[in-house]
Each structure stands twice: as structure tokens, then as C-alpha cells.
Amino acid sequence: MSKPVSRRGLLGVGGAGLALASASMVSGRVQAASLPEAPIKTDAAAAPPLHPNTGPDYQPVYTLNGWSLPWRMNGDWKEFHLIAEPVVRELAPGMRAHLWGYNGQSPGPTIEAVEGDKVRIFVTNKLPEGTAVHWHGQLLPNGMDGVAGLNQPAIPPGKTFVYEFILRKSGTFMYHPHSDEMVQMAMGMMGFFVVHPRDPAERRVDRDFVFLLNAFDIEAGSYVPKVNTMLDFNLWCFNSRVFPGIDPLVVRQGDKVRVRFGNLTMTNHPIHMHGYDFKVTGTDGGWVNPEAAWPEVSVDVAVGQMRAFEFVADVPGDWALHCHKSHHTMNAMGHDVRTYIGVNMKQTAKGIQRIAPGYMPMGGSGMGEMGSMEMPLPDNTLPMMTGYAQFGPVEMGGMFTTVKVRPGIASSDYTDPGWYKHPEGTVAYEWTGAPLPEPKRAPNTPRAGRGQSAELRAVDPRKRAPRSGGHGNH
Ligand SMILES: [Cu+2]
């Protein structure tokens, strides 16, 4: 159980982790002589799962494009150290955002611990304003709940506060500020908090993926999110990443897989996975009893909620996993772009090009063409839809990734296996026989009581109705 020494230079004081909730709480005053080290990670490559080297064993989670926060044991307390600070986050190759986060990243590192653990979390504020951390979903003493002003004073810039509580139950939790909350969450401050069951065999899975749903409004060519945006965000993220920057969920065929996510955006997200049906096994409030877990292929997660679903990965392939709101699988786009479907843009374009020589007509036959178009973009701006796969442009951005199921992957291996090699004869293919003759169309059905087909025309009610026409009462 207690594995040798340390990771990242942290000292594991072995064996102490078995202390249970029955051990008496100290009176909220730290006995430690020194602050625990606060590891920092600034790149967006996911760290391998962090196996516990002290305390009870568990199967660690895999945070997409993220990592788990190392800790130290101090007596029977598990001590973590979060630094709230400005960070630079690459949203996808080609775009970096200037955000606020924890320990070098947005979202902050995932905190993992075990049911019954006594956790002491140091929070140092390196932001230019006060903050506080709310442990979303945790059952804890009121004074540890992190609502600035209500449960504690805000942590002033430069100061460190200490949170201490016992993890009363296993499940899926989050942490985020509860102090100037709108601004601080719009800037990217949030993290995942996973509490593992005391018995590692309980609800055991082979792979356990976590990500937060978050959103930013960053104008083309700029770096800092607009913090007052309420709904019209333009970058929809898993863990402050957008497709094609989001890690695939790499899975060995036959693995039992859990996917957990929490929603800290301003709208709900129906998260949809292809190729499988799955069971919803966890919500904000805890685990669903196995006999009550319900089947879905999309699970909607409301603002502030967490969901976990599970499946056995028995079918290999590259399966899409994405938000089903189609605007959320797009990168920065102007929502005031007009719809030109059905318009012959060629004629119009000639006129416009006389005035604006670089003008490119778009949208007359849909917008898919944008997926393969190389257009000049402002600096630090991602194309609206991007990302190529083996058959061409995927025409998506935002909240989209893939579950890559392959046989024979090592249990600790999460490296991208590349695109799926389809067995012969299992890919949709082009018909090359005789073309379809003009299809027979059903004749228009006459409307009841009328001997003629209806003609519909738009009428401006401010003007007199046209003299003839098959509508109106006259
Ligand atoms: Cu969505």
C-alpha cells in the first residue's frame, strides 16, 4: 500500500494515511512547521495517473490535458497546496489565453483523496484580488465551505488560508472560487476533486477520465477573456482546451471505463458518446445504486452539476465524444454571420470584390468548406472549425474529442494510438454504379376544401394585400 518515497520532491510520510475519520480533528490550527511544497505545471500535456505512494490505495484518474496534485502526509492529515495565480493556457496549438488558475494551469490540478481521509488544503492567493475556495459537493463544516464573506473572510492577495475537513463520502466533486465568482470563473479558476472509495475494489474501473466543461469569450486576436459575458461565449472547452487540442480518451479494448465531468459554464451541455450506450453511475449527490443506474447515449449536465457514466469498451474504433449543442463544437465564431444557404454568392461577390478585393464568398452551400479553408486569421485566433482526421477535415472545434478503443494497450498507456485502422469492408463507401434517375415525387396534396394547391407568400401587414394570390380571406 505505501509505496516508496516521493514524486516531484514531495516527502511521503509513509503509513500515516490509514488514519480514519474517527481520529480527532484538531481545532482548525495547523501543526505543521512549514507549508507543503506547491508543485506547478504549466504545459497542457496530460500527466500520467498519479498512483498513491502513501495512504490507502486507489485507482487514480486521468485528467484530460491536466494532472493530479501531489500531497504530503503530516501525521494523519493529507496536505495539499493550491496557488491561485495568473496562468497562460494553450487552448489548442495556435492559441494561448491569459487566464487565472491554480498551480500553473486552468483548470487547476485534480485533487484526489480517499473517503475518510483528513485533508488540509493550503490556498495561497497570488491574484491581484481576494479569493476563496468552495469545495463543491463536499459535506464539511460550514466554516470550510469557502463562500467569502459568509463562511470566511476572502483570502487577501499574498496570504495563505487553510481548509481542513474529513472526506465523508466518495464521489465526484469540484472546487472553484466563491469570491468575485463571476470574474474568477470566467477567467478559468476551477478544478476537479475526486474522492475514491475506501475499498479500492468498490466501483473499480480500469480507466477513469475526468474533465471540466468551461467556456471563455476571447475576441479574435486577443488573449484575455471578457469577464462580463453571460451566454455568448465563443470558446467551449473541456479543461480549458478545444478540439483538436483535447486529449483523446485512450482505452484498451475490454476495459471498464468511467468518464466524469462537471459543468462550470453558464449553460447546460448534453454530452454525447458514439458507438456505445452507457450507464449513468454518478451525479453531484453521489453514486447511483447499480440497479438504478440508467442507460443513455447522451447525458445532459446542468450548470454546477457533475455526472459520471460507465461502459465496457468492447468495440474498437475512434468514437466521437462531444457536446451535442452544435455551436459548442465550434471555435470562436461571430454569431452575427448571416446565413447564405441557397444564395448564389458568385454574383454578389463580384460586386463586393470591386470594393473589397480580398473578399471571399462563403456559406452559399453550407459552412463545411470552412473546415478546409486556409484563411488569414488574426494572431492568437483559432479557425472556427478545425482538426483533421484520416478522412479529411472534421469540421468541428470546441467540445469535441474521441474515445480511441484499441486491443492490447498496456494498462498504464494513454499515448494516442493514431487513427483507427478499419477492417476491410467496414467503412461507408461511395456508390459507383448507375446514377439515381430523377426520383418520383408525390404530387402536392390539395388542401381540404380547396381545389387548388396553396401558394404561400410573405405579406407585409403594413401594406395592402396583393390583389391576387391564393391566401388571405378575400
Ligand atoms: Cu455544450
Distance, CA 307 to ligand 1 centroid (Å)? 14
Beta strand 95-102 pairing with 77-92: antiparallel
Distance, CA 320 to ligand 1 centroid (Å)? 14
Distance, CA 325 to ligand 1 centroid (Å)? 5
Q: Which residues pair with 135 in a beta bridge?
A: 175
Residue 226 has pLDDT above 50, yes or no: yes
pLDDT value, residue 455:
57
Least confident of 192-201, 222-231, 293-302: 222-231
Distance, CA 85 to ligand 1 centroid (Å)? 27
Sketch the domain layout of the chain as residue ranges: 16-24+36-312
Q: Could you tell me which CATH number the domain at 16-24+36-312 has?
A: 2.60.40.420
Residues 416-457 have pLDDT tens digits of: 999 999 999 999 999 999 888 888 888 887 665 555 555 566
Cβ-Cβ contacts under 8 Å for 143 (sequence gap 6 or more)? 28, 151, 152
More confident residue, 131 or 351: 131
Residues 20-77 have pLDDT tens digits of: 333 444 445 655 568 998 999 999 999 999 999 988 999 999 999 999 999 999 999 9
**Entry pTM:** 0.82
Specify the DSSP element, H or E, that contains 191: strand 191-196
Q: Which of 406, 209, 206 is nearest to 314 (CA)?
A: 406
Distance, CA 399 to ligand 1 centroid (Å)? 7
Distance, CA 213 to ligand 1 centroid (Å)? 8
Distance, CA 385 to ligand 1 centroid (Å)? 15
Mean of pLDDT over the chain: 86
Residue 294 has pLDDT above 90, yes or no: yes
Q: Give the Cβ contact number of residue 464 at 10 Å.
A: 8
Distance, CA 143 to ligand 1 centroid (Å)? 34
Contact 123, 155 (CB under 8 A): yes
> How far, in Å, CA of 405 to CA of 317, rounded?
5
Omega before 109 within 30 of 0, i.e. cis:
no
Distance, CA 244 to ligand 1 centroid (Å)? 16
> How far, in Å, CA of 321 to CA of 402, rounded?
5
More confident residue, 371 or 471: 371
Distance, CA 268 to ligand 1 centroid (Å)? 6
Distance, CA 322 to ligand 1 centroid (Å)? 8
Least confident of 122-136, 329-343, 414-428: 329-343
Residue 282 has pLDDT above 90, yes or no: yes
Task: Give me the amino acid identity at 46.
Answer: A
Q: Which of 191, 146, 188, 187 is nearest to 172 (CA)?
A: 191
